[in-house]
Chains A and B, each alone.
Chain A
Amino acid sequence: MATHEDDLDPDIAQALAQSVDQVDPPAALCDRVLRSVGPTTRPRVVSHSTSAFPSWLATAALLAIAAGLSVYSFLLRSRITTLEGELRDAILRADASNTQLAEVRRTATDAQSRIAVLTASDMSRVELAGQAVAPQASGRAFWSRTRGLVFTASNLPALPPGRTYQLWVVTAQAPVSAGLLKPDANGAVNAVFNPPGNIPSATAMAVTIEPDGGVSAPSGAMYLVGPAKGA
Chain B
Amino acid sequence: MWVMLAIAGTAPTRRVEDQAADRLALARMARGEHDALAELYDRHARPVYSLALRILQDRADAEDVVQEAFAQAWAQASRYDVQRGVVAAWLLTLARSRAIDRLRSRRARPDFAGSESAVADVADAAATPDLQLLSAEQVDRVRAALRELPALQRITLELAYYDGLSHAEIAEQLEHPLGTVKTRIRQAMIRLREALTGTK
Chain B residues near A (Cβ < 8 Å): 1, 3, 34-35, 37-38, 41-42, 45-47, 49-51, 53-54, 57, 59, 62-63, 66-67, 70-71, 74-75, 89, 92-93, 96, 111-112, 114-115, 118-119, 129-134, 138-139, 142-143, 146, 151-152, 155, 157, 160-162, 164-167, 174-175, 185, 189, 192-193, 195-196
- The interface stretch among A4-12, A116-124, A132-140 is A4-12
Binds B, one of A52-60, A88-96, A166-174, A195-203: A88-96
Q: Please, which residues of chain B bring their CB within 8 A of the CB of A33?
A: 37, 41, 45, 66-67, 70-71
> A residues within 8 A CB of B160?
6, 8
Q: How far is the CA of A35 from the CA of B162 in the complex (A)?
A: 29
Instruction: Find out whether the CB atom of B174 lies under 8 angstroms from the CB atom of A92.
Output: yes
Give the CA-CA distance A82 to B53 in the complex, in Å.
Answer: 14
- B133 and A18 contacting across the interface, CB-CB below 8 Å: yes
Q: How far is the CA of A43 from the CA of B35 in the complex (A)?
A: 8
Q: Which residues of A contact B46 (CB under 8 A)?
A: 22-25
Question: What's the tally of chain A residues with a CB closer than 8 Å to chain B?
Answer: 41
The 9 closest A-B pairs by CB, nearest first: A25-B49, A20-B54, A1-B115, A40-B34, A17-B92, A15-B142, A91-B151, A37-B74, A6-B166
Residues of B within 8 A of A12 (CB): 189, 192-193, 196
CB-CB < 8 A to B71: which residues of A? 33, 36-37
